[in-house]
Structure 1
Amino acid sequence: MFKLLRENIRIALGSIRTQLLRTILTVLIIAIGITALVCILTVVSALEYTISGKFASMGSNTFNITQYDFSEQIDAEADDKPHPIITYPQAKAFAAAYKYPDTRVSISFTATSIAEVKFESKKTDPEITVEGVDDNYLLNSGSEVTQGRNFTPFDVLNNAPVCIVGSDFEKDLLKDVNPIDKVISIRGAKFRVIGVLKEKGSTFGNSQDLRVLIPIQVARSLFTMPNINYDVSVMTDHKEFLENAVEQATITMRQVRKLSPVEANDFGISRSDDLINRILSITDYLGWAAWIISVITIFGSSIALMNIMLVSVTERTREIGVRKALGAKRGTIATQFFIETLVVGQLGGLLGTILGILLGFVLASALDFSFTIPWAAITWAFIITFIVAIVSGSYPAIKASKLDPIEALRYE
């Protein structure tokens, strides 16, 4: 049996080689559909990996109290009545009143995004973001220091003139020097560098490495602006208690805002995992687009593959008659043609997968996404080409196996 199967495979491969141009064209048609599928799924996978890497560092046990609830669409009534900002007294009152076990509250705000930072005779472009933060900010935001240390409660309470800088400062302003204990100047105020943040790259075009963190009270005195909206984040040590922690935070914030029981919340609470899920849900549309494009193309390639096999059956009618006259069974004839179809389909799938991954890698690199090999797309590519081979090869194989040997020998 295995000898017969091996002989059928040999004959099928020989037939493919004799129809090389037609085979190449069919393989290319199949490859185009698989390339479209794998390429788009590769880019989608890279996008998901990048987004997860950017936001998941915050941890799935973190939530933020915001001015608006961005998890739902704001209706017309809410538009007529804007939510008030979260003021510093409200943020401090929340931090003092919120007593849920094993949680940490952080208060911060963005002082400016166009600061100019000086060191000795050098200075940066006015593109530095300055943030006022407390000692819990790094932990709650998922940030780390690669050199130096974090702020201490003493630094924050005593308005110490210290700062933590982004990783890009080591590439420009503080290049070729040890940044720790160096003194930089912001708006004429001098700060001693106590730490350097781990590189985080860009999020939606905004660099996370061109920023300076300073104690929040120092930032409030240095950057006096009306209507500053403060960011409040809460982290719990136990993910299973997150729901209860959010409920307690809602109750506490309502008390801080002095809302009556009949009034709706005039603030929002966004969880880090909800944010990731909402963003990743957008990629589902790209995935559906990939499937629609590939299905249309693969449908066309299935017709082309079936056509080439039907032509092959017609051209080799006399060969089929000779083989049947020599004792070949219907199953043997059908297997030979089916193997030809399977080989052509898998060649198209392999070529399409390689091209799709390469093209996806190029697009992911151009879009500054973190590339990851889309194993799911590769698996689906080979499954699809196998199904295409079965669907496209079944009818020609059955037709070849049912040819009458006498009529086949007479065929010219």
Structure 2
Amino acid sequence: MFSLFRENVRIAMDSIRGQVLRTVLTILIIAIGITALVGILTFLGALEKTITGDFASMGSNTFNIQRYEFNTRNNRNREKVNPIISYRNVKQFVDKFEFPYTKTSLYFTGTRNAEVRFESEKTDPEVAVLGVNENYLENSGTEIEKGRNFTFFDIENNNHVCLIGSDFKKSLFKNTDPIGKTISIRGAKFKIIGLLESKGATFRNNQDLRVLIPIQTARSIYTLPNINYNISVKVNDKQYLEGAQDEAIITFRNVRGLNPIEENNFGLERSDDLINRIASITSYLYIAAWIISIITIFGSSIALMNIMLVSVTERTREIGVRKALGAKKHTISGQFFLETVIIGQLGGVIGIILGILVGSLAANLSNFQFSVPWLAMFAAVVTSFLTAVVSGLYPAIKAAKQDPIESLRYE
């Protein structure tokens, strides 16, 4: 049995080598379908890992009070317009919110187009400047690479100190230790006390090209009306999370002056809720990716089947000779079937390599975190095998049913 299988493999390989152009075209047809599958799944895997990683860094025991709920904020047809969260709101919330084992972070984005100067050097006007309090780093899951965090006294005394993102090492401080240096933002001087660890970028929002300054100091520099502030609350022990959320809702309703029958005019989001919603969204993207890939592979399987049928027709006389020499139907069908499977697997291997290259390139261009797509690779192997089986079955059966006498007469 094994010797017959080995002989069929040898014959299939000889046939493949004898039809180089046809084999290459057939392999490319399969490879295109597998490339589409692996490339899309690789890109989606990098996208999901990046987004969930950004939110997971906040921790599962953190929640935010914001202007809108996540689903409401993304509904363009919403009728309800919530008022902004003003500085007075956040200040009253901090004064009134009393729940054990919690830390409250306040912050707002002053600008995303700041120009930062150091001596005679300056950055492009693309730096984000955030006003924060001393709890911002811990609640947002941001670590310090070098230096120290803000202290309570830095915030309360409006000290002109700052924390900078890791990208400043590539521009203003290429060969210089930034700690202790003084930078200028809108003419205001700030002493650098800390360098943040790299967090990367998501959807062009570069987390490593930003400057954090005390919130009161930021308010004195950025005085635009209707600035929206953000509140983040972290609970040291997750078992108190539900209680902290309820207390936060009651406190902020009192800050807003809502009566018991009025709905909340603000939103509350937990970081793990966001992760779950993102996972549900990416699941639909995976389904769409599979549908697109299946359509592509279906087209590839039809092309492969047609090529194999042409091969059967061209080798009709060869089939007649083999049958005249005593070859049985299952031997003939096995030879053509193995030939199709080998071609399919070669196309699958090339498709996997090209798919990973395309997916990783797209992920890198989008600044997503690339990871080895094991699921996509497994899916590609199985898909290429099934494609070869489906495409090769009918040509193999047709070859086995050829009449030896008529096949020998075929010109």
Task: Tell me the residue number matched to 2:300.
Answer: 301
SS in structure 2 of the partner of residue 323 of structure 1: helix
In structure 2, what residue type is equivalent to 1:8?
Answer: N
In structure 2, what residue type is equivalent to 1:92?
Answer: K
Task: Tell me the residue number matched to 1:395.
Answer: 394
Contact 1:109–1:231 (CA under 8 A) maintained in structure 2: yes
In structure 1, what residue type is equivalent to 2:83?
Answer: P
Contact 1:67–1:84 (CA under 8 A) maintained in structure 2: yes
Task: Tell me the residue number matched to 2:7.
Answer: 7
TM-score, normalised via structure 1 length: 0.88
Rounded to whole Å, the distance in 2 between the matches of 1:360 and 1:252 is: 47
Contact 2:111–2:130 (CA under 8 A) maintained in structure 1: yes
Bigger mean CA offset, 127-136 vs 343-352 = 127-136
- State yes or no: 1:57 paired with 2:53: no
Contact 2:302–2:391 (CA under 8 A) maintained in structure 1: yes
SS in structure 2 of the partner of residue 58 of structure 1: coil
Task: Tell me the residue number matched to 2:265.
Answer: 266
Q: 1:17 to 1:122 in 2, by over 3 A?
A: closer
Shift of 1:36: 1.8
In structure 2, what residue type is equivalent to 1:69?
Answer: E
Contact 1:130–1:211 (CA under 8 A) maintained in structure 2: yes
TM-score, normalised via structure 2 length: 0.88
Alignment of 1:17-56 (within 5 A): 17-56=17-56
Rounded to whole Å, the distance in 1 between the matches of 2:395 and 2:375 is: 31
Aligned-CA RMSD value: 2.8
Rounded to whole Å, the distance in 2 between the matches of 1:158 and 1:3 is: 86
Shift of 1:148: 0.5
Contact 1:33–1:293 (CA under 8 A) maintained in structure 2: no
Shift of 1:2: 0.9
Task: Tell me the residue number matched to 2:231.
Answer: 232
1:110-154: CA deviations, max 9, x gaps? 234444444445554554433221111001112111110111223
Bigger mean CA offset, 130-139 vs 93-102 = 93-102
Q: 1:5 to 1:210 in 2, by over 3 A?
A: closer
Alignment of 1:260-339 (within 5 A): 260-279=259-278, 281-284=280-283, 286-339=285-338
Shift of 1:106: 0.7
1:139-185: CA deviations, max 9, x gaps? 11121111101112232233333221222333333443322222334
Alignment of 1:172-251 (within 5 A): 172-239=171-238, 241-251=240-250
Rounded to whole Å, the distance in 1 between the matches of 2:201 and 2:17 is: 51
Q: 1:411 to 1:115 in 2, by over 3 A?
A: closer
Rounded to whole Å, the distance in 2 between the matches of 1:353 and 1:104 is: 48
SS in structure 2 of the partner of residue 160 of structure 1: coil
Alignment of 1:328-367 (within 5 A): 328-367=327-366
Q: 1:184 to 1:242 in 2, by over 3 A?
A: same
Bigger mean CA offset, 5-14 vs 363-372 = 363-372
- State yes or no: 1:89 paired with 2:88: yes
Rounded to whole Å, the distance in 1 between the matches of 2:246 and 2:331 is: 70
SS in structure 1 of the partner of residue 70 of structure 2: coil
Rounded to whole Å, the distance in 2 between the matches of 1:314 and 1:169 is: 67
Shift of 1:216: 2.1
Shift of 1:77: 9.8
- State yes or no: 1:384 paired with 2:368: no
Alignment gaps of 5+ in structure 2: none
SS in structure 1 of the partner of residue 150 of structure 2: coil
In structure 2, what residue type is equivalent to 1:264?
Answer: E
1:218-271: CA deviations, max 9, x gaps? 333444443332210012234455444333322222222221111000001122
In structure 1, what residue type is equivalent to 2:389?
Answer: I
Rounded to whole Å, the distance in 1 between the matches of 2:308 and 2:170 is: 62
Rounded to whole Å, the distance in 1 between the matches of 2:292 and 2:253 is: 49
Task: Tell me the residue number matched to 2:148.
Answer: 149
Rounded to whole Å, the distance in 2 between the matches of 1:306 and 1:186 is: 66
Shift of 1:209: 2.8
Shift of 1:406: 4.6
Q: 1:392 to 1:188 in 2, by over 3 A?
A: closer
1:361-406: CA deviations, max 9, x gaps? 3333333333323222221112111111111111222233334445
SS in structure 1 of the partner of residue 84 of structure 2: coil
SS in structure 1 of the partner of residue 346 of structure 2: helix
In structure 2, what residue type is equivalent to 1:181?
Answer: G
Rounded to whole Å, the distance in 1 between the matches of 2:184 and 2:73 is: 43
SS in structure 2 of the partner of residue 72 of structure 1: helix
Seq. identity, %:
63
Contact 1:156–1:216 (CA under 8 A) maintained in structure 2: yes
Contact 2:200–2:367 (CA under 8 A) maintained in structure 1: no
1:77-131: CA deviations, max 9, x gaps? 963x532222333223323433444322111222344444444455545544332
Rounded to whole Å, the distance in 2 between the matches of 1:60 and 1:135 is: 20
Q: 1:129 to 1:182 in 2, by over 3 A?
A: same
Task: Tell me the residue number matched to 2:166.
Answer: 167
Q: 1:110 to 1:240 in 2, by over 3 A?
A: same
SS in structure 1 of the partner of residue 57 of structure 2: helix
Contact 1:71–1:270 (CA under 8 A) maintained in structure 2: no
Bigger mean CA offset, 249-258 vs 321-330 = 321-330
SS in structure 2 of the partner of residue 8 of structure 1: helix
SS in structure 1 of the partner of residue 43 of structure 2: helix
Contact 1:40–1:286 (CA under 8 A) maintained in structure 2: no
